[in-house]
Amino acid sequence: MTVLVCADLDRTLIYSAAAFALEGPDEAMPRLLCVEFYQGAPLSYVTETAAQTLEALARAAAFVPTTTRTPEQYGRVHLLEKPPAYAICANGGHLLVDGEDDPSWSAEVRARVGSGCAPLTEVQDHLIRVGGDFVLKRRTASDLFAYLVVDRAALPAGWVEDLTGWCAERGWRTSLQGRKVYCLPASLTKSAAAAEVARRTGASRMLAAGDSLLDAELLAAAAASVRPAHGELHDTGWTSPTAAVTASRGIRAGEEIAARLLDLVASE
């Protein structure tokens, strides 16, 4: 019986130094493994224990990194010694099979997204109009969605809520994750891509992990899931009868998530 494990990456399994949330004396800090470099500098980490647990998880189940990162951004992450057979990128907009983009899935997603919401250009224009000095960068991802890098401390009160309402009226949704504000078509989901991987692998059961509102549908669709005690889902109080919450925050929560998923697979 194949068990599918779909897990978000950033602030779920992997962490930048700003998201470690480590407390205690230096001599009590865990050993860390760098799993991503950006422009020649180390960027993302897991604990050494988490890395070992994820290797065991990948041997025991069909492990699928499931991220809002573009394929290019995902390509910088080296989480396992052997890359997984499947990866979901761009919030479900790309399905990688043995590291290669599946063109049939990409075409299907674009056909579905293109007919169900306002065009990306309309959202981009709106983001320019409502932006300010708090916007540090504007980006698009895979010609599917837009996101801003912002100075979070300088965000005007109610700005995210106003943007969320505007987007909802046009078939889009928003997510605030760290310093990034995402605007995505409502039909662009990780859960749809996960269902496709489940079909291809013949998986009879899916487990999931994630920390943001963009992960909520994926976690709700899973037979069992786990989220960290931080992030967007935690801040909004999101719960599910089948979702567990870590006792830890930050990078130690990533270690706890990996162990919880392995325990769930072992109990099958």
Q: For position 116, what pLDDT does the model report?
A: 80
Distance CA 11, CA 81 (A): 21
Helix (H, G, I), strand (E, B) or coil at 5: strand
CA distances (Å), 171 to each of 89, 165, 189, 252, in order? 21, 10, 13, 36
Look at residues 252, 218, 219, 205 and name the one whose alpha carbon lies nearest to residue 92: 218
Query: Whole-number mean pLDDT of the chain?
Result: 96
Amino acid at 242: T
Q: For position 70, what pLDDT does the model report?
A: 97
Distance CA 178, CA 152 (A): 8
Q: For position 243, what pLDDT does the model report?
A: 97
* Residue 153 · residue 136 · CB < 8 Å: no
Q: Cβ contacts of residue 178 below 8 Å, gap of 6+?
A: 10, 11, 18, 19, 152
Strands 243-245 and 62-65 come out as unpaired
Q: For position 137, what pLDDT does the model report?
A: 96
Distance CA 235, CA 94 (A): 28
pLDDT one-digit tens code per residue, 7-53 = 999 999 999 999 999 999 999 999 999 999 999 999 999 999 999 99
For residues 224-252, give the mean pLDDT: 97
For residues 101-110, give the mean pLDDT: 96
pLDDT one-digit tens code per residue, 244-263 = 999 999 999 999 999 999 99
Q: For position 78, what pLDDT does the model report?
A: 97
Written as one string, the DSSP assignment of 41-109 is: EEEEEEEHHHHHHHHHHHHHSEEEEB-SS-HHHHTTB--SSS--SEEEEGGGTEEEETTEE-HHHHHHH
- Per-residue pLDDT at 128 exceeds 90: yes
pTM of structure? 0.95
pLDDT one-digit tens code per residue, 43-94 = 999 999 999 999 999 999 999 999 999 999 999 999 999 999 999 999 999 9
Q: For position 266, what pLDDT does the model report?
A: 95
* Residue 138 · residue 131 · CB < 8 Å: yes
